[in-house]
Amino acid sequence: MAEFTAPLAEIRFALEELALLPEIAALPGYEQASDDLVGAVLEEAGKLAGEVLAPLNATGDREGAILENGAVRTPAGFPVAYRRYVEGGWSALPFAPEHGGQGLPIALSTAVMEMWIAANMAFMLGPILTLGAVDMLEAHGSTEQQHLYLEKLISGEWTATMELTEPQAGSDVGALRTRAIRDGDHYRITGQKIFITYGDHDWADNIVHCVLARTPGSPPGTKGISLFIVPKFLPDENGAPGQRNDLRPVSLEHKLGIHASPTCVMAYGDGGGAIGYLIGEENRGIEYMFTMMNNARLHVGLQGVAIAERAYQQALAYARTRIQGRPVGTKSATPLPIIHHPDVRRMLLAMKAQTEAMRGVAYVTAGGIDRARRHPDPATRQAAQLRVDLLIPVVKAWSTDLGVDVASLGVQVHGGMGYIEETGAAQHLRDARIAPIYEGTNGIQANDLLGRKLMRDKGAAAQALIAEMRGVATLLAAARGDDLAAIRTHLTQAVDALEEATRWIVENWDADPARTLAGATPYLKLLGTVAGGWVMALAALAAQRRLGAREGNPAFSTAKLVTARFYAEQYLPAATALLPAIRGGATVMSFALDQF
């Protein structure tokens, strides 16, 4: 497996030119995010990725997590790597200083998270869940709960899980059966959860399980679900781990990929009921859990970006060293590395362009979270939150679908060697495949995009984004150069298709939601593809400006222009082609079930 090097130049460019980190750093509370500090954070995070986490990726995949004697053991080196992560203060990066956090922007935290996921996705699945639990407790936990849990979670001394899924319920959370019976100042939790990432491990002194359960007499469906803190060890009077709670990992799932990440079946209440503490009010658990889920969905989308970057680096290294054939158009008398072959060059550029587009959309969305939380103007905060809400399902679904596609292309670049485990290309594809499934399958994300995001304001947030995209096209028209002219042509046509599709969905939703939802996945793909073209156009404009000002590395800026043009020519034309699929729900719904 090729070594991983954090793409610091690409990440810094995306932060500065797309997420507009310098503007974010000027927001109240972010003043410490100076250029020097940002550079130091990225540099050190890159070292953690390349020197500590990446070397464990292949060995962790081969060894896997093991359940023995009722406890989970992670692969060799993982507990030590986690200690390095904690000692570096990395888990505290984006959180409030009053709870021990460093108070740095979400956009910056997103960038370092990309590096770490690319280095070792299976490892980072644990810390990601803890980040979501902190967000949830900050928003909905009581003062006592915040005092007891936040500092330890933010420091990384304790970790957390998110527990929704049950064997009979799957994605239908409203069908869960785990019970919570009040017992004085706490509840007794009984039931079973499946697919629990890092439900048990050997990293931390305690694990804080965030568990959805149903109280007696609660309404049916999701309206009757409550959320509970169920610690592995009950904190004593000093807040230290005390008595073992009545919960245990029953088994580990045997998975296609992410073998080093323990995916547990968790049992609660075998000895009379695990002690749990209600978060907020009864029957509002789904509302509270969505705070954690939206955090997770951004980070799962980032997994698509990260695994694509790792697969690209792997394929590029192989293509530069694998000698095979005399490519058309060369005068070499001897065989050359396969990177000289036109189709291999096309595949590599496809991997690079799509990865940069995904990264841009993810970072722009993360920057929107910063503005929604910190901007002094209420109207700006509201507009930023609406944009974030619109793009979160796109980041999650579009990026993870592309992550699989890019990882698959990486195998293809290797040829037959890509199908052999020793090269490492296959692991990236196996690891990538889970991301379109968990934290809400990508079909659920598409339904959410239409039903909850697009229709709540009749497409107003989408139209605001479309108007901003048209503004970028106008800037391209005023600029010089064949690359920018080509990008403008394709972006304008793609935005036209997006606007047409958005208008059609809004106009037809009330008459037949099912038919409209049958085109939800093509619409999400359309929005993601065009959003990718939009951020790539912004990147091209920034690269042109840098070249004109003789700022930075001219080769880097030139590559940005060519990559953006490639994306526009190769992917934006598909926007118009998606319109029939978006409007073709009647065909889907008219197909009789007995004809499948």
Beta bridge partners of 233: 244
- Cβ atoms within 10 A of the Cβ of 220, count? 9
Dihedrals φ, ψ of 35, to 5°? -60, -40
For the chain, how long is the longest CA-to-CA vector?
A: 84
| Burial call 370-383: b when 16+ CB within 10 Å, e when fewer | bbbbbbeeeeeeeb
Buried-exposed string 260-273: b where 16+ CB fall within 10 A, e elsewhere: bbbbbbbbbbeeeb
Q: Is the torsion defined by CA of 428, 429, 431, 436 positive or negative?
A: positive
Residue 439: burial class (beta carbons within 10 Å; 0-12, 13-18, 19+): buried
Burial of 224 (0-12, 13-18, 19+ CB in 10 A): middle
The helix (run of H) or strand (run of E) holding residue 67 is strand 66-68
Q: Are 209 and 197 in contact (CB under 8 A)?
A: no
DSSP characters for 223-244? GGEEEEEEESEEE-TTSSEEEE
Q: How far apart (Å, rounded) are the C-alpha atoms in residues 231 and 241? A: 9
Q: One-letter amino acid identity for 143?
A: T
CA 370 to CA 392: how far, in whole Å? 14
Residue ranges of E strands in 548-596: none
Q: Which residue has the tokens 């568990």?
A: 211
Q: Which long-range contacts (CB under 8 A, 24 or more apart) does 100-103 make?
A: 100/150, 100/151, 100/154, 100/155, 101/154, 103/29, 103/30, 103/32
Say whether 439 is catalytic: yes
Q: Which of 282, 309, 439, 499 is catalytic?
A: 439
- Degrees, nearest 5: CA angle 72-431-324: 135
Q: How far apart are the C-alpha atoms of 36 and 29, rounded to whole Å?
A: 17
Radius of gyration over every alpha carbon of the chain, rounded to an integer in angstroms: 24
Contacts of 32 (CB under 8 A, 6+ apart): 103, 104
Q: b vs e for 231-247, b when ≥16 Cβ sit within 10 Å of the residue's Cβ?
A: bbbbbeeeeebeeebbb
Best CA proximity match to 383, nearest among 391, 162, 424, 529: 391
Contact at 8 Å (CB) between 586 and 515?
yes
176: left (phi over 0), alpha (psi -120 to 50) or beta: beta
Which residues make beta-bridge pairs with 186? 183
- CA 96 from chain center: how many Å? 22
Counts of helices then strands in the chain (DSSP H, E): 22, 12
Question: What positions carry a catalytic annotation?
Answer: 439
